[in-house]
Amino acid sequence: MIMKGKKGLIVGLANNKSIAYGIAKACSEQGAELAFTYLNDALKKRVEPIAKEFDAGDYVYELDVSNEEQMAAIADKIAKDFGKIDFLVHSVAFAPKEALSEPFMKTTKEAFRVAMDISVYSLIDLTNRLESVLSDNASILTLSYLGGPKYVANYNVMGVAKAALESTVRYMAVDLGTKGQRVNAISAGPIKTLAAAGIGDFSQILKWNEANAPLKRNVTIEEVGNSAMYLLSDLASGVTGEVHYVDSGYNVMGMAAVEKNDEGKTVLCWDVK
């Protein structure tokens, strides 16, 4: 199995509909041993059963990336219970509700700070905190979205945060490359997750992606998980600083797709059914 003998920490799992769950499943099926974090008591009830599903019931840790005490303690807990880890999955993003529902130009300084701190700086901070337990050839993976490099309606300040996250991946890749450690991102297509529920008109985004992507469908957490497993494994030992798209090809489109109407005429897919 590709990941046999590898240990990894999954940060930001919310439930079994999460992209992080798809990644955990793919890695586990290929032999990886896993540890998990949960944000708070409400999510603990969801994460603990998932951890048991992957035989990781003893390796579940509370971690709010904005909590200094928890961040300061995470490396020692991992070292004591789990030992060195070979990969880290950063599935953490947040912006205040009003920053997603109001026009982008109404974003407050505090909302901007929170979005950047939780969604971007936490990757840098967490990697630094785990330095003592990350193996020399560790692979670090974070999750992005097309709303970073391109405009996506209602994504607002999270788009700016994802753009910063992708740039962070490149700069981290250079700094950590001297250690042999790799840093990459996956830009997944829209998937109905807990995080996506905060994006306005998300159902329309799903329909539009399905209608206009080259594969004419949306992706699943299993498909994203398989791509993530590749990037986390030794199969991708020569890959770092990359943003890998798993979106049925939607990112290559320069305009809406075309199709034939009932009269045989070519029309743009504006009216998404």
Q: Is the pLDDT of residue 272 over 50?
A: no
Mean pLDDT to the nearest integer, 213-237 = 97
pLDDT at 197 over 70: no
**188 contacts: CB under 8 Å, gap ≥ 6:** 19, 143, 145, 219, 224, 246, 247
Domain segments of the chain as ranges: 7-268
pLDDT at residue number 247? 97
Active-site positions read: 145, 155
Round to whole Å and give the CA distance between 175 and 154: 34
Provide mean pLDDT across the span 129-145: 97
Report the predicted TM-score, pTM, of the whole model to 2 decimal places: 0.92
Look at 25-39, 143-157, 193-207 and tell me which has the smallest mean pLDDT: 193-207
- Lowest mean pLDDT, pick from 125-134, 211-220, 264-273: 264-273
What is the pLDDT at residue 204?
83
Can you give the pLDDT at residue 139? 98
3-state secondary structure of 4: coil
In percent, how much of the chain has pLDDT > 90? 84
Cα 103 from chain centroid (whole Å)? 24
Kindly tell me if the per-residue pLDDT of 79 is higher than 80. yes
The correct CATH number of 7-268 out of 1.10.357.10, 2.170.120.12, 3.40.50.720, 3.30.1540.20 is 3.40.50.720
CA distance 161 to 178: 26
Does the pLDDT of residue 181 top 50, yes or no? yes
Write down the pLDDT at residue 95.
Answer: 94
> Residue range 131-150: average pLDDT?
97
How far is Cα of residue 259 from the mean position of the Cα atoms in its chain? Answer: 33
Report d(CA 141, CA 2) in Å as an integer: 17
Instruction: State the Cα–Cα distance between residues 247 and 224, nearest whole angstrom.
Output: 9
pLDDT for position 193: 72
Residue 189 has pLDDT above 50, yes or no: yes
Q: 152: which residues sit within 8 A by CB, 6+ positions away?
A: 145, 146, 159, 205
**pLDDT the model gives residue 202:** 75
User: What's the rounded mean pLDDT across residues 118-129?
Assistant: 98
Helix (H, G, I), strand (E, B) or coil at 269: coil
Q: Residue 47: pLDDT above 50? A: yes
> What is residue 68's predicted lDDT score, i.e. its pLDDT?
97
Q: For residues 11 and 63, give the distance between their C-alpha atoms in angstroms, rounded to a whole number.
A: 8
The pLDDT, as a whole number, for residue 260 is: 64
pLDDT above 80 for 41: yes
